[in-house]
A and B are shown apart, each in its own frame.
Chain A
Amino acid sequence: MITVDNLTRHFNSGGKTIVAVDHLSFKVKAGEVYGLLGPNGAGKTTTLRMILGLLQPTSGDADVDGFHVSQFPDEVKRRIGLVSASAGLYQWLTPREMLLFFADLYSVDPAYARERLESLADLLDFRRFIDQRCSTLSTGQKQRVTLARALMHDPPIMLLDEPTRGLDVVGTHVIFEYIGHLRSLGKAVVVSTHRLDEASQICDRMGLLHRGTLRHEGTFAELQRTTSCSTLFEMFLQLMKQPQQISSSVTGGESNEN
């Protein structure tokens, strides 16, 4: 479903070139949850943005459901649902208005969009406040609406960028269920997170990202074998201790990681 091929992104900052993502390649199948793991500034968000076509890669390309991002950005966007921790809601609109608006942006048939809204309202349990202004909603309620928004157009591919950031236990649990649901629907899911404890629970396969490069990839068992560490935490500590491979590409980082 997703093929990332040698994706590279440089940023200019104060005259210096920063390599945020460095020749990154991986594949995600349908029905698979792929974890993109790494500390802050590893290049996770930048990678997701490039897959979605929001950021132009410096080199390399991503292929989504047979479409190259560089050539068919709209076809790619049409097939992807994005859940981002930093996403906000239109505070003067109600969830109903906002979700139908987004369905329209994805050219979803209005009648179908209304049915879909109903089913998602049950699935994510936001029927109670579906006609309240978004500004009056609590964080947990907003989260549910954001999750519904990504599913309005029933995309085959889901990108989740730090979905659990800033959420409490209940919110995190909702995310876990949500990801399980996506897997059961056969969607290809990419989850970026720095919460290593969660990753092993929800991801089928994972890639360990450090300073823009993929260091290890595989199922949790495979990772344990290759790194001879028992937990993801240890694996990361091991990675951090390794000397920098390419001295010129110093301090990889996303410019906008809050």
Chain B
Amino acid sequence: MKTNPPLDRSDDSTTTPSSVLEKEATGTGQPDVTPYAGYAGQLRPFSSLRWWRMAQKELREILRDRRTIITLIGMPLLIYPLLGVTFRTLLVTQATNKAKTEYRIAFANQHDSRVFRRLFFEGGVIQAKQSGNQELANREPKGTPEDPIWQFMISNDHETTVDVGSFVADQTAEIGVKLKEGDEEGPWVFELSYRSSSPYSIDARRMVEDRLRAVNDLVTVGHLRKLEPAFQVPITCTTKPITTLDSGPQFTMASLIPLILILMTVTGTVYPAIDLTAGERERGTLEALISAPVPRHELLFAKYLAVLAVALLTAIANLLSMVLTAYSLGLEHLMFAPGGINLRMIGLIFGLLIVFAGFFAAVILILTSFARSFKEAQAYLIPVMLVSLAPGVLCLLPGIEMTGWMSVTPLVNIVILARDIFDGRAHSAWVLAALLSTVLYSGVALSVAARIFGTDAVLYGSEGSWGDLFRRPTTQRPAASLSQSMFCLALLFPAFLILSGLPGRLLGQWIEGRMVGNAVLTILLFAIGPLLFARWNGVEWGEGFRLRGSSVVSFIAAALLGLSLWPFAYELELQAISPDRLEVMKDLFKQIKTTLDAIPLPAKLVALALIPAVCEELFFRGYLLTSLRTGMATPLAIVLSGCLFGLFHVIVMESLFFERFVPTCFLGIILGWVCYRTGSVLPGMLLHSLHNGLLLSVSSFTKELATLGVGTESQEHLPAWWILAAGTTVAIAFLMLILGTPRPSPATVAVASR
């Protein structure tokens, strides 16, 4: 039963499947020397989805382990109901400890108090009757003994009306009542103020509402009995939540939830991570694994996927258990934002947990890859868990906001983000920064782990090799490795994010200073930084940054593209922008323009067109693209570098300009292709500078252009003939590049990998 040989095997025909047995039968004990005809196919680093099958095997192994199942399902099933019940008991004991809970209601004035109390008592009586306690209901209109004590706070003065909100805010009262509509006769509209952060106040509000609803219900039933179709419900309540952030740290259950979730996800990653790395080393299977012709980073990646999968399963089990507990114990209003819990929020939280688990699994894999035994790995992990707890608790304090440093600090940013999602206020520009930086850090951590995993130092415990890990390479390499460039990116991104706001902060309105500051920053971050980093890693500048000459045709084509691409970028941006947003942008640009008008054009061209163009080309196309090409197909590398280029342009001055993403990506991809095609970063620099310069000049010559019939500020579509002319020019430039430059050989960078 012989099937067609799949792709995996290149020279199937040379070894017959039954070779072992045949030779066994005919073997005479004499050496029967045959040339090797096994599996020496060409090098195939990523043989068809093997990493996926490897991850499946790791996952199968880990899921058969009973200990995994305990942490995965047992723990969350136990911990949330337990926590939930404890929390409830706490609420109940709080109530019974005082013999009777005391709620204080503050009134705006005496009149409001009179109206409200009459209805409130009436509601109490109705409730008592409904609960079947006839005796009590007859006795006194004060409610049942199970009811809490209600204290009413009324101004002594007949005339004054007080601000009940302030009483609620400073915790003098739980509820503030204000009569908005209605007099002695109904219908009435009450406004109930309460502290949204206090379960106590929320409970009081709910009880008040229940009582008033009882009155409504009775009236409604009465009307219905009389078959009156049109009637009005006598009492309407509006609620006014009062946020009290400055009332000191309140460690409610809700504020602990993000931390618990994150800790549980961490627990999910710890056991499989140890088991699949240090555990494998301890059981003696690692040597056999490393002996196979599979790159170590592929082995580690499969393990990473398995750990991530277990972490996510843990996260799902936790989320489910938590939500179910909250629902069944009726705690969901106390635990979540005013809207309660909904699918969107669960989805967001789950997405966040994916990012977080991805990060934590990578970090933990570094440590467990270092370890040579289970015990050693545990010893490494305990301090890390404790250390990671500290920022987690810290960001539960009120007043900690997701800005600047917080958004790029690992772990802290995720905890804050989780908290904000639960509170329903996660929509600042920093969310993107937090997510992106976490993803970048994960990538770096993973590449570090891959470098450590299975090294002879770990495998055989030789001390000499530890230093090798951080040793500078002695030989020059033509391109930065993928892990090096990712490391550089992970340093650059937060630095760019934080430092780009600095000139504005330090120099205020001094526009010339800011411009120079920004230019210096661009040079430092995108040119000098990467150049030094590459030098330290032994990367040749000429090859690694594509700093070399190119043909005249390349430069002419690049210049043509630099002059003709902007209409397309402009139209793309126009497509992406919404009318409201357009107004905002127009104002902003008008502001920028008026401040910039004072500066002479040549200075602007150097600081805002030339320097950014040259430095960005050097980093994104020279360093990053060349490095990306060592690890992936060229088209993918070009698109990825283009997208990263786009992302860097989205975050400007602490706000997001998503409109810029598509046009900048488009430009980045074209620049990437030009660099690939010409083999040099220089034509791209020319293109980029011309493009930037042209846009700047256009804004400087608004009046002159207006006479030509082009309104730059009206944000209209460009005249069709402009697009046509530009399109023709672009086509000519592309043709020149395709026909006029030699086709780059794919092998130019492939050798440089790893």
Q: Please tell me if A210 contacts chain B, counting CB pairs below 8 Å.
A: no
* Partner of B57 from A30, A74, A97, A107 at Cβ < 8 Å: A97
Q: What's the least CB distance linking A176 to chain B, in Å?
A: 13
Given the interface pairs A74-B43, A112-B5, the reply to whether A154 lies near B19 with Cβ below 8 Å is yes
* Partner of A78 from B40, B54, B60, B287 at Cβ < 8 Å: B40
Residue of B nearest to A149 (CB): B288
Does A106 contact B39, Cβ atoms closer than 8 Å? yes
Does B17 contact A30, Cβ atoms closer than 8 Å? no
Q: Please tell me if A237 contacts chain B, counting CB pairs below 8 Å.
A: no
A77 proximity list for chain B (CB < 8 A): 291-293
The winner among A77, A82, A111 for most chain B CB atoms within 10 A is A111
Q: Please tell me if B18 contacts chain A, counting CB pairs below 8 Å.
A: yes
A107 proximity list for chain B (CB < 8 A): 8-9, 39, 41, 44, 47, 50, 293
**How many residues does chain B have at the interface if contact means C-beta atoms less than 8 Å apart?**
60
* Partner of A154 from B20, B44, B53, B464 at Cβ < 8 Å: B20
Given the interface pairs A93-B61, A185-B32, the reply to whether A109 lies near B38 with Cβ below 8 Å is no
Give B57-106 interface residues, CB cut-off 8 Å to A: 57, 60-62, 64-65
A88 vs B283: C-alpha distance in the bound complex, in angstroms? 6
Residue of A nearest to B285 (CB): A88
A247 vs B41: C-alpha distance in the bound complex, in angstroms? 47
Question: Could you say which interface size class chain A belongs to?
Answer: 35 or more
A159 vs B650: C-alpha distance in the bound complex, in angstroms? 56
Q: What's the least CB distance linking B18 to chain A, in Å?
A: 7
* Partner of B20 from A12, A56, A90, A116 at Cβ < 8 Å: A116
Of the listed stretches B22-30, B107-115, B161-169, name the one at the interface; the rest are far from the partner chain: B22-30
Given the interface pairs A11-B464, A90-B61, A115-B17, the reply to whether A109 lies near B40 with Cβ below 8 Å is no
Residue of A nearest to B4 (CB): A111
B47 proximity list for chain A (CB < 8 A): 107
Q: What's the least CB distance linking A222 to chain B, in Å?
A: 18
Does B21 contact A123, Cβ atoms closer than 8 Å? yes
Q: What's the least CB distance linking B672 to chain A, in Å?
A: 30
* Partner of A86 from B12, B35, B287 at Cβ < 8 Å: B287
Does A181 contact B32, Cβ atoms closer than 8 Å? no
Q: Please tell me if B2 contacts chain A, counting CB pairs below 8 Å.
A: yes
Q: Please tell me if A175 contacts chain B, counting CB pairs below 8 Å.
A: no
Does A65 contact B36, Cβ atoms closer than 8 Å? yes
Given the interface pairs A82-B291, A92-B65, the reply to whether A112 lies near B460 with Cβ below 8 Å is no
Does A31 contact B31, Cβ atoms closer than 8 Å? yes
Q: What's the least CB distance linking B461 to chain A, in Å?
A: 6
Does A52 contact B39, Cβ atoms closer than 8 Å? no
A88 proximity list for chain B (CB < 8 A): 283-285
Q: Please tell me if B341 contacts chain A, counting CB pairs below 8 Å.
A: no
Residue of B nearest to A15 (CB): B463
A107 vs B31: C-alpha distance in the bound complex, in angstroms? 27
* Partner of A75 from B9, B40, B461 at Cβ < 8 Å: B40
Q: Please tell me if B6 contacts chain A, counting CB pairs below 8 Å.
A: yes
Does B285 contact A89, Cβ atoms closer than 8 Å? yes
Does A74 contact B293, Cβ atoms closer than 8 Å? yes
* Partner of A93 from B28, B41, B50, B60 at Cβ < 8 Å: B60
Report A99-112 CB contacts with B as 1/0, cut-off 8 Å.
Answer: 00110111111111
B33 proximity list for chain A (CB < 8 A): 30-31, 186
Does A92 contact B38, Cβ atoms closer than 8 Å? no
A110 proximity list for chain B (CB < 8 A): 6, 8
B290 proximity list for chain A (CB < 8 A): 54
Give A41-94 interface residues, CB cut-off 8 Å to B: 49, 52, 54-56, 65, 73-75, 77-80, 82, 84, 86-93
A106 proximity list for chain B (CB < 8 A): 39, 292-293
Q: Please tell me if A228 contacts chain B, counting CB pairs below 8 Å.
A: no
Does A184 contact B31, Cβ atoms closer than 8 Å? yes
A200 vs B294: C-alpha distance in the bound complex, in angstroms? 36
Residue of A nearest to B295 (CB): A74
Does B38 contact A54, Cβ atoms closer than 8 Å? no
Q: What's the least CB distance linking B69 to chain A, in Å?
A: 12
Q: Please tell me if B122 contacts chain A, counting CB pairs below 8 Å.
A: no
Q: Please tell me if B571 contacts chain A, counting CB pairs below 8 Å.
A: no
Q: What's the least CB distance linking A59 to chain B, in Å?
A: 14
Q: Please tell me if B525 contacts chain A, counting CB pairs below 8 Å.
A: no
Does B2 contact A111, Cβ atoms closer than 8 Å? yes
Q: Please tell me if A244 contacts chain B, counting CB pairs below 8 Å.
A: no
Does B24 contact A184, Cβ atoms closer than 8 Å? yes
Q: Please tell me if B456 contacts chain A, counting CB pairs below 8 Å.
A: yes
Report A129-153 CB contacts with B as 1/0, cut-off 8 Å.
Answer: 0000100000000000000010101
A92 proximity list for chain B (CB < 8 A): 60-62, 64-65
A116 vs B17: C-alpha distance in the bound complex, in angstroms? 7
A residues near B (Cβ < 8 Å) are: 10-13, 30-32, 49, 52, 54-56, 65, 73-75, 77-80, 82, 84, 86-93, 97, 101-102, 104-112, 115-116, 119-120, 122-123, 133, 149, 151, 153-156, 180-181, 183-186, 255-256
B residues near A (Cβ < 8 Å) are: 2-3, 5-6, 8-9, 12, 15, 17-21, 23-24, 27-36, 38-41, 43-44, 47, 50, 53-54, 57, 60-62, 64-65, 283-285, 287-295, 456, 459-464
22 A/B residue pairs, CB under 8 Å, sorted by A: A12-B464, A32-B31, A54-B291, A65-B36, A77-B293, A78-B40, A79-B36, A82-B288, A84-B284, A84-B288, A87-B285, A92-B64, A97-B57, A97-B60, A101-B53, A105-B294, A109-B6, A109-B9, A110-B6, A120-B20, A153-B39, A155-B38
